[in-house]
């Protein structure tokens, strides 16, 4: 049946039917899937820590990678405080294929908040690729240095996002609740900050389930906001219930200030 419909239905009609068929599993909202063009620039959602001594960002230059030669672009970063309010913008010019950028402290309120990354250039992807039904997805890696910037640092990619440079939120909530349980055993001799940020247009309600004791806690994360929950003196697994398909925090293990050298950052 699928091959029959694909053969005889117009491409856009088939895409619409496929979207609604997968309604409960689609990560993005309807408008963002069918109303974008190459000028639309989407980003993952990255987390800033005010307690780290330095944070770097590894940005890729898609245009240079496609052409195989250096092309000048502007790497833009927009920061939002823990309540989701805009703080500031930072811009870095580079023509390298990959650029490691030392981000300046945006001086936002709170221990953790979030930012997005997008690229601007006089060389458009539309002219390079000659396609009109794709959009630019900006990814990257954040490197966190707890105290000593001469250390290796902890590197991690961004959280699920889909945010445009105009703050349009592509991610969507679902009517059904989803429970996500990381394959990770928290240890009682370590401390953890579970950091959640919200790429949707509505408040994100997260239920944190401490599985070994059936204890529950609740976080309300505003749109574009960032909230965290501390875990200590606990051994076992933790689950997260929300309206996102996968609600996984960024885990700061033994976050700074920490002089023991066992700091780490990872996706749960």
Q: What is the pLDDT of residues 65-86, one digit of tens each?
A: 888 899 999 999 999 999 999 9
pLDDT of 4 strictly over 50 = no
Instruction: Name which residue leads in pLDDT, 19 or 138.
Output: 138
241 touches 249 (CB < 8 A) = no
**Phi and psi angles of residue 48, each rounded to the nearest 5 degrees, phi first:** -105, 140
At residue 189, the 3 state secondary structure works out as: coil
Rounded CA-CA distance 236/186 in Å is 5
Q: How high is the pLDDT of residue 175?
A: 74
Rounded CA-CA distance 26/34 in Å is 13
Each residue's pLDDT tens digit, 171-195: 666 778 889 999 999 999 999 999 9
- Could you report the per-residue pLDDT of 205-239, keeping only the tens digit for each? 999 999 999 899 999 999 999 999 999 999 999 99
The verdict on whether omega for the bond into residue 257 sits within 30 degrees of 0, i.e. cis, is yes
User: From CA 148, how far away is CA 133, in angstroms rounded?
Assistant: 45
Residue 67 to residue 214: CA distance in whole angstroms: 54
Cβ distance 140 to 57 under 8 Å?
yes
Return mean pLDDT, the chain: 83
For the domain made up of 178-267, give the CATH fold: Jelly Rolls (2.60.120)
Residue pLDDT, tens place only, 5-30: 444 445 555 454 444 444 455 555 44
Q: Is the pLDDT of residue 58 over 80?
A: yes
The count of C-alpha atoms lying within 13 angstroms of the C-alpha of 233, restricted to the half-sphere facing its C-beta, is 0
Each residue's pLDDT tens digit, 145-178: 987 666 778 999 988 777 877 777 776 667 788 8
Whole-angstrom distance, CA of residue 76 vs CA of residue 120: 8
Instruction: Give the pLDDT score at 20.
Output: 42
pLDDT at 253 over 80: yes
**Residue 225 confidence (pLDDT):** 95
Show the tokens assigned to 34.
Answer: 């069918």
Q: What is the pLDDT of residues 87-123, one digit of tens each?
A: 999 999 999 999 999 999 998 888 999 999 999 888 7
CATH classification (class only), 32-164: mainly beta
What are the φ and ψ backbone dihedral angles of 208, each rounded to 5 degrees?
-100, 120
Domain map (residue ranges) of the chain: 1-31, 32-164, 178-267
């Amino acid at each position: 049946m699928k091959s029959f419909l694909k053969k005889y239905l117009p491409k856009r009609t088939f895409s619409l039917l496929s979207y609604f068929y997968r309604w409960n599993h689609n990560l993005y909202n309807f408008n963002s899937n069918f109303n974008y063009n190459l000028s639309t620039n989407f980003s993952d959602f990255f987390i800033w820590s005010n307690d780290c001594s330095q944070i770097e960002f590894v940005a890729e230059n898609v245009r240079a990678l496609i052409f195989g030669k250096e092309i000048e672009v502007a790497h833009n970063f927009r920061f939002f405080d823990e309540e989701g309010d805009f703080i500031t913008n930072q811009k870095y010019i580079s023509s390298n294929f990959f650029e490691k950028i030392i981000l300046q402290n945006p001086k936002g309120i709170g221990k953790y908040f979030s930012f997005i990354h997008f690229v601007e250039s006089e060389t458009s992807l539309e002219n390079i690729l000659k396609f009109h039904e794709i959009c630019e997805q900006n990814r990257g890696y954040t490197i966190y240095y707890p105290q000593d910037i001469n250390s290796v640092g902890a590197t991690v990619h961004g959280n699920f996002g889909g945010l445009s440079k105009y703050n349009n939120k592509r991610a969507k909530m679902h009517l059904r609740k989803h429970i996500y349980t990381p394959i990770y055993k928290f240890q009682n001799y370590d401390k953890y900050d579970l950091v959640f940020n919200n790429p949707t247009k509505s408040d994100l309600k997260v239920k944190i389930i401490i599985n070994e004791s059936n204890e529950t806690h609740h976080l309300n994360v505003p749109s574009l906001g960032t909230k965290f929950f501390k875990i200590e003196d606990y051994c076992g697994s933790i689950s997260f219930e929300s309206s996102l398909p996968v609600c996984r925090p960024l885990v700061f293990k033994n976050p700074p200030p920490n002089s023991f050298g066992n700091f780490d950052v990872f996706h749960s």
